[in-house]
Amino acid sequence: MSKEAVAPASIASYIDHTLLKPEASEAEVLKVCAEAVEYKFKSVCVNPIWVKTVTKALKGSGVLTCSVVGFPMGATPSDVKAFEARGAVLDGADEIDMVINMAAARANDKGALVDDITAVAEAVHAGEAILKVIIETSMLTDEQKVIACEAAVEAGADFVKTSTGFNGGGATVEDVALMRKTVGPDVGVKASGGVRSLADAQAMIAAGATRIGASSGIAIVKGEQGSSDY
């Protein structure tokens, strides 16, 4: 089977079922958890305040708990991001999606990016969790995207990720392909932001994505069109 022909049932295992609205209620979070279990999504991705709730709801299901750090701006000190990540992992997060220092990325300051990501990577990996690094592709030139991805690899990240979905733009096939080319075969690539249909997800996977972040996961696996921005 070619990547372009990945079936909807298989697509589910790529999807981080996502609810990152700051106003999300406990009932909405629990609904997303139930959906993730039903459709066998890879994880549920939520803001840090919901990690304990999600971990409890997903216990024994095989669905992972994912949380975000420095989200959505990335403009907090690295030690604060590391503290936030450490707390989320202690609360039960299996995976952490961090936002990089965008000012450093725009300034082509690879050293600052490595330092920023390393601080979080050490905290996450100490808890035996996975780190995904959001480079916010819509705000960067191709050269800056490459530098950010190289910094993530150097810092020991497990994945690079296209977007928060909150700062304009989202995943594109071209960006996913560039990120895959840059990080090589051993680091994951997560496409997120604007992936709303089965065709979108299949295109991202064909370009090299190994994970899809979406709040339209159910529409994707049903072959329908989602409407969410994320």
161 belongs to the catalytic site = yes
* Among 8, 62, 11, CA closest to 33: 62
Residue 3: band (very low, low, confident or very high) from pLDDT cuts 50, 70, 90: very low
pLDDT at 92: 98
Residue 220 binned pLDDT confidence (cut-offs 50, 70, 90): very high
Give Cα 5 distance to the centre of its chain.
23
**Whole-number Å distance between alpha carbons of 20 and 103:** 23
Average pLDDT over residues 59-82: 98
Task: Tell me the percentage of the chain whose pLDDT exceeds 70.
Answer: 96
Cβ neighbours of residue 150 under 8 Å, at least 6 residues apart? 110, 182
Instruction: Give the span between the Cα atoms of 185 and 82, in whole angstroms.
Output: 27
* The one catalytic residue among 42, 81, 145, 161: 161
Q: Which of 88-102, 157-171, 216-230 has the highest mean pLDDT?
A: 88-102
Q: Are 131 and 121 in contact (CB under 8 A)?
A: yes
> What are the pLDDT digits (tens) for 158-192?
999 999 999 888 999 999 999 999 999 999 999 99
Say how far residue 214 (Cα) sits from the centre of its chain: 9
Catalytic pick from 42, 132, 145, 190? 190
**97, 158, 175, 200: the active-site residue:** 97
Q: Report whether the peptide linkage leading into residue 72 is cis, meaning its omega lies within 30 degrees of zero.
A: yes
pLDDT at residue 111, as a whole number: 98
